[in-house]
Amino acid sequence: MKKIIQSSSIILLISFIFFGCETKKPAIGNEDEIIVFADSVEYLELEPVLLQIFSKTIYTPIPEQLFLLNRKDISEISKYQHRKNIVIVAPFGTESETSNFIGNIVSPELKTKIENDSLFVINKYDLWAREQLVMVLTAPTLEKLKYNILNEEDDLVYFFQKISDKRLLKSIYNPTFENEKQEAEFLKKYDWLIYVQKDFMLAKDDSLNNFVWLRRSPSSNLERWIFVHWIENASPAFLNADSIYAERNKLTKRYFRTTDNSAYIEIADDYLSSTEVNFNGKYALFTQGLWRMNDKSMGGPFVNYTFYDENSKRIYMLDGSVFAPKFYKKSLIQQVDVLLQSFKPGHEIDQSKREDLLNLLD
């Protein structure tokens, strides 16, 4: 899934009316569903813009929608207020039910900012449920609201992607299914750490060429794999799309080959993109697209983070792929993406964590 650098221009404070102080339960619903509270007439105007932003088509390689929108009347909010992803959208002051609701839950200070068009996105996390995002979108006029939504497209999607990754991270990072000994071996040998699930097997450990490959369910119709590659004494100048594509193709041609050595993996030409992102506080290029065998026999989606670590003078390339021809792959590639985001260079690991892991090797 596309990763975006968070824009400070729309990180906003909010004053909401809280409904009780009881202990909140976890948010419910599908990860890719957004409940949209909007007036039916206003939604006729807003729907094309919202679909363009949140329901854009991604290819895995089959077409899948990023998020699915489900419109509800604001009168039903108590029924749906515990869903994971919520958008409340209306022009400000139109006297529609949704507009009146927004007017009743924001502070006088925020009302002034909205009326002056200096504020149009209000995010509230964990409002009615844990790990929930409620996003309010509003502006002085309907046309201005549509313009602002389109203008801040990447940031709006980013907010929902990040909260979804956070929820998925919690479900994946389970000590019961963690291979800490393998993590410790990587830390001791290479001075970096990545979360390793027990059902991922070590397929390749090439210390001479700085390459580690982990696979889950190899040779099946539901396979996932990740690799970590690093370049010593590197320069940040490497961080450009052409260099990343060339390096990835070189690696997959060497390591990802058929058993008879007749074909290998390469980057497909279609649906390929690279975007600047914030990877755990570091500037990185995020590449997403499709891989394929060079004989066109099979393929699937991949994601890739490449960044320069100033402390170690290394370029790190973190890459994950999915092969699942009988399945929708949007959620599978997100799982791989979240695993990659667990990566840390050695200098970012606190001493107690380092000692606990390395003690496993004694």
From residue 96, alpha-carbon distances to 16, 20, 186 in Å are 19, 26, 58
For residue 202, being part of any structural domain is answered with: yes
What confidence score (pLDDT) does residue 10 get? 37
Q: How does residue 2 score in pLDDT terms, banded at 50, 70 and 90?
A: very low
Supply 151's token pair.
């203008």
Does one domain contain both 59 and 157? yes
For residue 166, being part of any structural domain is answered with: yes
Question: pLDDT averaged over the chain?
Answer: 92
Does one domain contain both 227 and 345? yes
Does one domain contain both 166 and 180? no
Does one domain contain both 88 and 227? no
Q: How does residue 22 score in pLDDT terms, banded at 50, 70 and 90?
A: low
| Residue 86 · residue 101 · CB < 8 Å | no
Does one domain contain both 166 and 179? no
CA distance 236 to 234: 7
Where a domain ends, among 170, 186, 208? 170
For residue 284, being part of any structural domain is answered with: yes
Q: Looking only at Cα atoms, what is the longest distance across the chain?
A: 70
What confidence score (pLDDT) does residue 232 get? 98
Does one domain contain both 77 and 122? yes
Where a domain ends, among 145, 170, 195? 170
CATH of the domain at 23: 3.30.379
For residue 76, being part of any structural domain is answered with: yes
For residue 43, being part of any structural domain is answered with: yes
Q: How does residue 21 score in pLDDT terms, banded at 50, 70 and 90?
A: very low
Can you state the angle between helices 180-190 and 351-359, rounded to 10 degrees?
110
What pLDDT digit, counting tens, does each position of 191-220 carry? Answer: 999 999 999 999 999 999 999 999 998 888
Does one domain contain both 284 and 251? yes
For residue 277, being part of any structural domain is answered with: yes
For residue 120, being part of any structural domain is answered with: yes
From 303, 307, 238, select the one nearest 277 (Cα to Cα): 307
Percent of the chain with pLDDT over 90: 86
Region of residue 273 (left: phi > 0; alpha: psi -120 to 50; beta: else):
beta
Where a domain ends, among 104, 135, 170? 170
Does one domain contain both 179 and 153? no
Q: How does residue 173 score in pLDDT terms, banded at 50, 70 and 90?
A: confident
Residue 216 phi, psi (nearest 5): -120, 130
CATH of the domain at 215: 3.40.1000.10
Whole-prediction pTM: 0.88
Does one domain contain both 15 and 34? yes
Output Rg (C-alpha) for the chain, integer angstroms.
23
Does one domain contain both 114 and 259? no
Q: Which domain holds residue 103?
A: 8-170
For residue 3, being part of any structural domain is answered with: no
Q: How does residue 288 score in pLDDT terms, banded at 50, 70 and 90?
A: very high
Does one domain contain both 72 and 213? no
Domain count across the chain: 2
Q: Is the pLDDT of residue 347 over 60?
A: yes
Q: Is the pLDDT of residue 144 over 80?
A: yes
Does one domain contain both 149 and 204? no
What pLDDT digit, counting tens, does each position of 226-272 carry? Answer: 999 999 999 999 999 999 999 999 999 999 999 899 999 999 999 99
Within 259-328, residue ranges assigned H as helices are none
From 289, 293, 290, 291, select the one nearest 264 (Cα to Cα): 293
**How does DSSP assign 90-155, residue by residue?**
--TTS--HHHHHHHHHS-HHHHHHHHTTS--EEEEESSSSBT-EEEEE--SSHHHHHHHHHHTHHH
Residue 171, CA atoms < 13 Å, CB-side half-sphere:
13
